[in-house]
Amino acid sequence: MTGSVEAIMEFYVEAGVDLALDDAPHDRFAEAERARDEQIAAQKARAAAALEQVRKPAEAAPPAGAAAMISRPKAENLSAEAAIASARADAKRARTLEELRDILSRFEGCGLKKTAKNLVFSDGNPEARLMLVGEAPGRDEDIAGKPFVGRSGQLLDKMLAAIGLTRDHAYIANVIPWRPPGNRTPSPQETEICRVFIERQIELADPDVLVLLGAVPANQILQTRELIGRMRGKWRTYHTGAREIPVLATLHPAYLLRQAQQKRLAWRDFLEIKARLALTDNRTDMGNSGGG
C-alpha cells in the first residue's frame, strides 16, 4: 500500500501538481487580488515616507562632500515620482562638478547602478568651452569608467581632430552615467532620474557650445521627440536657468560606424561647431578690447 501511495505522489509531482485541495472551497482570484492590494498599499507607504524625507529642508542635510550623506531608500523601494524627487534634491546640492560626481557615486535611487561596473561621469577638460553629451556607456566605457573610449570614441577623436581639437578642448559626458545591462534601452524612470543629473552637469560645466551626439541626448535634453535626421545641423538654445547656451544635435559616432555614408553630414555639423566656437572667441575678444 505504501509503495502505491508513493508512486501516486511521484506521478503528481511529475504532472506539476504542487497544491493539495481541502474540503473548503477557495477563491484563488480573490486571494491574488488581496495580495496585490496589500503589496500596492505597502509600496505607497514606502513612497510617502521617501517623499517626506526628500522634502526635509536642505539645510538639515549634511554637506555634499560629507561621508554621512542622507541615507536614501533603494531604487526598488521608491515610486517613480519619489525616485526622481530624490535625484533632483541630490543634484541641487552639488556646487561643483566634483561634488556632483561624488553624489552620483553614492546615489542609490537608480537601478542601473547595481549592474554597472563603474560610474561613467566624464572625460576631457571640465574648463573647456565645448561640451559633448552622448547616450550611455557601452562595455568598454563601463570597464574604463570614462565615456567614448571604444570604437565610437576613437571615431569621435578623429572628428574632433578634423576641426583642430582634442579631448583637452572638450568636456565629454553621457545622459546615462551607468551602463544599462546588455546595452538595453533605459526605462522611462531611469532616464528621468539620469536627466536630472546631466542637466545639473551642464549647468556646472557651463560651456559656450553644447553638442548632443545622437537622438537620445537630443530628445532628452531638448525635451522633444523629433527624429535626429530632422534635428541635426540646426542650432537651438538650451536654457540652464542662469544663461542660454547654443546647442547643436548631430549624429552619434556609433551610428556613423554602421552608416559610413552619413559621415558627410556629421562633417558639416562639425564645421558648424568650429565656426560657432570661433564666433564665441571673437565675441570674447571684442568684450575685452573696449576702450576707457
Q: Determine, yes or no, domain membership for 77.
A: no
Q: Determine, yes or no, domain membership for 83.
A: no
**Which of 159, 109, 115 shows the shortest CA–CA distance to 137?**
115
Is residue 291 scored above 90 in pLDDT? no
The CATH code of the domain that includes 281 is 3.40.470.10
Is residue 60 scored above 50 in pLDDT? no
Question: At CA 191, angle to CA 253 and CA 154, rounded to 5?
Answer: 20
Greater confidence (143 vs 29) lies with: 143
The set of residues, in sequence order, having a beta carbon less than 8 Å from that of 109 and lying 6+ positions away, is 72, 73, 74, 75, 78, 83, 86, 87, 90, 193
**Stretch 6-13: mean pLDDT:** 64
Specify whether the CB–CB gap between 196 and 156 falls below 8 A: no
Q: Determine, yes or no, domain membership for 168.
A: yes
Q: Determine, yes or no, domain membership for 258.
A: yes
291, three cell numbers: 576702450
Give the domain extent around 229.
119-286
Question: At CA 180, angle to CA 110 and CA 211, rounded to 5?
Answer: 95
Q: Determine, yes or no, domain membership for 160.
A: yes
pLDDT tens for each residue of 33-51: 665 666 556 555 655 555 5
pLDDT tens for each residue of 96-151: 999 999 999 999 999 999 999 999 999 999 999 999 999 999 999 999 999 999 99
Q: Determine, yes or no, domain membership for 55.
A: no
What is the number of helices (H) and of strands (E) in the chain? 12, 6
CA 77 to centroid of chain Cα atoms: 19
The set of residues, in sequence order, having a beta carbon less than 8 Å from that of 155 and lying 6+ positions away, is 253, 256, 257
d(CA 266, CA 249): 10
User: What band does 177 get if pLDDT is binned at 50, 70 and 90?
Assistant: very high
d(CA 134, CA 176): 8
pLDDT tens for each residue of 227-267: 999 999 999 999 998 899 999 999 999 999 999 999 999 99
Q: Determine, yes or no, domain membership for 201.
A: yes
**What's the chain's average pLDDT?**
83
Is residue 185 scored above 60 in pLDDT? yes
User: What band does 57 get if pLDDT is binned at 50, 70 and 90?
Assistant: very low
> What's the confidence (pLDDT) of residue 33?
62
Q: Determine, yes or no, domain membership for 16.
A: no
DSSP code for 262: G
DSSP code for 160: H
Nearest 10 degrees: CA dihedral of 128, 131, 137, 142? 10
Cα Rg of the chain, angstroms: 26
Environment class of 242 (CB within 10 Å of its CB; exposed 0-12, middle 13-18, buried 19+): exposed
Number of domains into which the chain is organized:
1
